[in-house]
Amino acid sequence: MKKLIFFITIISILFCFSKITFAESENMLRVGLVSDFDKISSVDISNSSLSAGFQKNDVFYGSESILGTSFSVKSGMNYYISSQNTFSSYTDAKKNSGDKGIPALVDVDCWKVYFGGYSSEREAVSQAENFLKYGGNAVTKSSENITVLLNENMPVAIFDSFEYYPQFKDGENGNIVINNLEFRGNIEFVKSNSTYTLVNILPIEEYLYGVLPAEISNEWHIEALKAQAVASRCFALFSKNGKHSSDCYDLCDLSHCQVYKGVSAEKTETTIAVDSTKNIFAYYNNEIIEATYFSSSGGSTADVEDVWNVSIPYLKAVSDSSEKESKVWTRAFSFDEMTQIVDANGENVGNVINAFISSKDIFGRVNALVIEGTKGSLVLEGEKIKSFFSKSNDGSLLSRNFSTEKGYNSGKIDISYDNKVYIMGKDKTNYIEFESIKALSGENKNISFLDFDKIFVLGKAESKFYGKSSQANSYLTDGAEDVFGDIVFYGKGMGHGVGMSQSGAKALAENGYDYIEILKHYYTGIEVKERL
């Protein structure tokens, strides 16, 4: 038996930044497609031709078009038999692969031919002589990044590099379709163990095509859409190498950064908004701003210092009185639920007995909420006021623009302080007076008013309406949605409140503001101009 050249490369896998060059041009973004392609073992690609390769120093070194009818990508094996010869192109490697070999990209524009595929070194050595006549003369230990491109479940290319992750794009300069989702640009397969996170690499303007319709309605006024385009462009470039500095991408495709849905989400109106503001950014002191934005203010925005405890001169609270479509919401909690939420957050105040607002900003947005218990009190400040309730069934509070009231738990209306109770009947015309009824609690808790739509309580100190809810013997104030609990939050707006309100931008646009005026309203002291 001819002596084999035994070649085993042993090297530990390097961290992300040693593999990935982030020196790409300022107009390129790396977007982690974590909503659909995070830690997956394989994907299907619907394109009929692909160019595949590595990226080095901003340049994609790809193959000629690889034709196919049903592509898929998966992890490779631990060991292969490789050729000694190298080739400068996929086509040359393919010509020298015979009917047993597979072109393998091992470095930029450096191809070999691999044979077989084995899980252990011993197995590879035992099979190596079977490939001598095809040119296989070395047992190669593959990198931990090894990836195989298949067509109709047959391998057509292998990518084996410690330094680079493989990238794929359409072979005819079109879009790439992965698991029936379409994307512009290149898709990189970032491997960890045996799974992949996919990263979309594309120009910032093409990225915005897939962001705007996912973040704002394409049916809104064009000036609001243009304001969103500039804000999203600023946010993306400001966040580059920041929010995900420990990952292999600049931004994710979730609301943590900006929602991004690729080509499938694109709309004509939002694309026009992106194109008509191309390369336009908002600046403060000649630096691109962190253009944060949110859904609805409820009447005013928030100072960033009150939310995230940092001072940024262009992210100040401003009046948003023109906003017409503020989100209105109600949340109610029993004291037992509040106690569970406090415990789930790792705090201990005993049994919760009250919650009240202790501080608001000049526009009425809550800066401090106090939760009182039998063993002490807890003060929530800034954005923690919202996120503290993420441990509840319905998640975080929608905004910090709210008021609180004592609620009415379990359908029992405490009217022990009242002289008389008036009940409005179903026909809304007949009034019945019950002078003897003092409360719907204690021994009277089973008294039912289910035949009535509303109860009007005339008290010594206050009078209120109670509208019937879907809960038996349960009522709520002012005919609102079902509300029953010990503490009720009545809120307006949705989001952190810092920067541009999208609903407010819509209202301003409808009132005749152009996109520059809208941006200057929400971001204090900025300039809006084309980037040189």
Instruction: Give residue limits of the domains in the chain.
Output: 5-203, 206-320+498-530, 328-407, 409-484
The stretches of 368-512 forming alpha helices (DSSP H) are: 384-387, 502-510
Yes or no: say if 339 and 354 are a contact pair by the CB < 8 Å rule.
Answer: no
HEC readout, 314-350 = CCCCCECCCCCCCCEEEEEECHHHHHHHHHHCCCCCC
CA distance 250 to 32: 7
**Full-prediction pTM beyond 0.75?**
yes
CB 461: neighbour CB atoms within 10 A? 6
Question: Residue 134: which residues within 8 A CB-CB, separation 6 or more?
Answer: 98, 100, 101, 115
What tokens were used for 352? Answer: 């919760």
How far is residue 194's CA from residue 146's CA, in Å, rounded to a whole number? Answer: 9
Give every strand in the sheet of 527-530, ordered side by side: 287-288, 280-284, 527-530
- The length of the chain in residues reads 532
Rounded to the nearest 5 degrees, what angle is found at the Cα of 353, between the Cα atoms of 470 and 392?
Answer: 55
The DSSP secondary-structure symbol of 38 reads: S
Closest CA to 515 of 246, 102, 145, 229: 229
Number of other CB atoms surrounding residue 124 within 10 Å: 25
How far is residue 529's CA from residue 532's CA, in Å, rounded to a whole number?
Answer: 9
**How many alpha carbons lie under 13 Å from residue 486 in its C-beta half-sphere?**
14
- CA-to-CA distance for 74 and 52, rounded, in angstroms? 14
Distance of CA 415 to the CA centre of its chain: 46
**Mean pLDDT by groups of 10 residues along the chain of 532 residues:** 32 33 66 96 96 92 94 96 93 92 96 95 92 86 95 96 96 95 97 93 97 97 98 94 83 95 96 98 96 94 93 96 85 91 95 92 90 95 92 91 71 43 42 43 41 46 44 38 70 94 97 98 97 82
Residue 407: per-residue pLDDT: 60
pLDDT for 484: 60
Confidence at residue 25, expressed as pLDDT on a 0 to 100 scale = 65
CA-based Rg of the chain, rounded to a whole angstrom? 31
Nearest to 9 by CA among 76, 96, 90, 80: 80
Identify any residues that bridge with 53 across adjacent strands, giving them in sequence order.
62, 167
Res 266: pLDDT: 97
Please, are residues 371 and 342 in contact by the beta-carbon 8 Å criterion? yes
Write the DSSP assignment of 377-390 as a string of letters. Answer: EEEEETTHHHHGGG
Pairing of strands 527-530, 487-492: unpaired
Burial of 397 (0-12, 13-18, 19+ CB in 10 A): buried
Query: Whose CA is closest to 497, among 218, 332, 299?
Result: 299
